[in-house]
Structure 1
Amino acid sequence: MQISNELRAMIGRRRPGYSLEAPFYRDKEVFDLDMDVIFGRHWIYVGVEPDIPEPGDYFTVPLGRTSVVVVRDDDMTIRAFHNVCRHRGARLCDGDKGSVGNVVCPYHQWTYDLRGNLIHTEHMGEGFDRSQFSLKTVHVGNVAGLLFICLADEPPADFEQMRREMEPYILPHRISDCKIAYEEDLIENGNWKFTMENNRECYHCKANHPELTVSLYEFGFGYQPSPENAEEVHAFRELIEREHARWESCGLPSVELEFLDSRATAFRTERLPLDKAGESQTMNSKVACQKLLGDLTQRNLGGLSFWTQPNSWHHFMSDHIVTFSVLPIDPERTLLRTKWLVHKDAVEGRDYDPKELSEVWHATNKQDGSLVERTQIGSQSAAYQPGPYSPYTEELVEKFMSWYFKRLRTETGQESAIVSPFAASA
Structure 2
Amino acid sequence: MTVSVDIRALIERRKQGYSLEAPFYRSEEIFALDMEAIFRKHWIHVAIEPDIPEPGDYVTVELAGESVLIVRDDDMSVRAFHNVCRHRGARLCNEDKGTVGNIVCPYHSWTYNLSGALMFAEHMGEKFDRCKHSLKSVHVESLGGLIFVCLAEEPPADFAVMRAAMEPYLLPHDLVNCKIAAQVDIIEEGNWKLTMENNRECYHCVANHPELTISLYEYGFGYQPSPANAEGMAAFERTCVERAAQWEAMSLPSVEVERLSDVTGFRTQRLPLDREGESQTLDAKVASKKLLGEFRQADLGGLSFWTQPNSWHHFMSDHIVTFSVIPLSAGKTLVRTKWLVHKDAVEGVDYDVENLTAVWNATNAQDRTLVEYSQRGAGSSAYEPGPYSPFTEGLVEKFCDWYIRRLGAHVGA
TM-score relative to the length of structure 1: 0.95
Matches within 5 A, 1:4-23: 4-23=4-23
Q: What's the CA shift string for 1:102-135, capped at 9, x where partnerless?
A: 1112222222111111222223233222222211
Q: Which secondary structure state, in structure 2, belongs to the residue aligned with residue 285 of structure 1?
A: coil
Maintained 8 Å contact 2:25/2:375? yes
Farther off after superposition, 293-302 or 61-70: 61-70
Q: Which secondary structure state, in structure 1, belongs to the residue aligned with residue 297 of structure 2?
A: coil
Q: Distance in 2 between matches of 1:335 and 1:96?
A: 14
Maintained 8 Å contact 1:289/1:319? yes
- 2:286 aligns with 287
- 2:317 aligns with 318
Q: Which secondary structure state, in structure 1, belongs to the residue aligned with residue 114 of structure 2?
A: coil
Q: Distance in 1 between matches of 2:205 and 2:230?
A: 21
Using the TM superposition, give the Cα deviation of residue 290 of structure 1 relative to its aligned residue in structure 2, in angstroms.
0.2
Using the TM superposition, give the Cα deviation of residue 287 of structure 1 relative to its aligned residue in structure 2, in angstroms.
0.1
Matches within 5 A, 1:203-214: 203-214=203-214
Using the TM superposition, give the Cα deviation of residue 412 of structure 1 relative to its aligned residue in structure 2, in angstroms.
1.5
- 2:188 aligns with 188
Q: Distance in 2 between matches of 1:255 and 1:47?
A: 26
Q: Distance in 2 between matches of 1:17 and 1:104?
A: 52
Amino acid at match of 2:138: V
Q: Distance in 2 between matches of 1:69 and 1:314?
A: 23
Residue segments in structure 1 that go unaligned for 5+ positions in a row: 415-426
Q: Which secondary structure state, in structure 1, belongs to the residue aligned with residue 7 of structure 2?
A: helix
Q: What's the CA shift string for 1:404-423, capped at 9, x where partnerless?
A: 11111112122xxxxxxxxx
Farther off after superposition, 85-94 or 350-359: 85-94
Q: Does 1:165 align with 2:165?
A: yes
- 1:125 aligns with 125
Q: Distance in 1 between matches of 2:125 and 2:33?
A: 41
Q: Which secondary structure state, in structure 1, belongs to the residue aligned with residue 324 of structure 2?
A: strand
Q: Does 1:34 align with 2:34?
A: yes
- 1:152 aligns with 152
Q: Distance in 1 between matches of 2:120 and 2:369?
A: 48
- 1:382 aligns with 381
Moved over 3 A (4+): none
Maintained 8 Å contact 2:57/2:71? yes
Q: Distance in 1 between matches of 2:409 and 2:241?
A: 39
Q: What's the CA shift string for 1:130-189, capped at 9, x where partnerless?
A: 222211101111111111111111111110111011000011111111111111111111
Q: What's the CA shift string for 1:301-352, capped at 9, x where partnerless?
A: 0100000000110000000000000111111111111110101110100000
Residue segments in structure 2 that go unaligned for 5+ positions in a row: none
Corresponding residue pairs, total: 413
Q: Distance in 2 between matches of 1:90 and 1:328?
A: 24
Q: Distance in 1 between matches of 2:58 and 2:189?
A: 27
Maintained 8 Å contact 2:36/2:64? no
Q: What's the CA shift string for 1:69-123, capped at 9, x where partnerless?
A: 1100111110001111222222211222111111112222222111111222223
Matches within 5 A, 1:137-148: 137-148=137-148
Q: Distance in 2 between matches of 1:264 and 1:331?
A: 23
- 1:334 aligns with 333
Maintained 8 Å contact 2:268/2:303? yes
TM-score relative to the length of structure 2: 0.98
Matches within 5 A, 1:404-423: 404-414=403-413
Q: Distance in 2 between matches of 1:23 and 1:347?
A: 48
Q: Distance in 1 between matches of 2:346 and 2:94?
A: 30
Amino acid at match of 2:91: R
Percent identity of paired positions between Structure 1 and Structure 2: 66
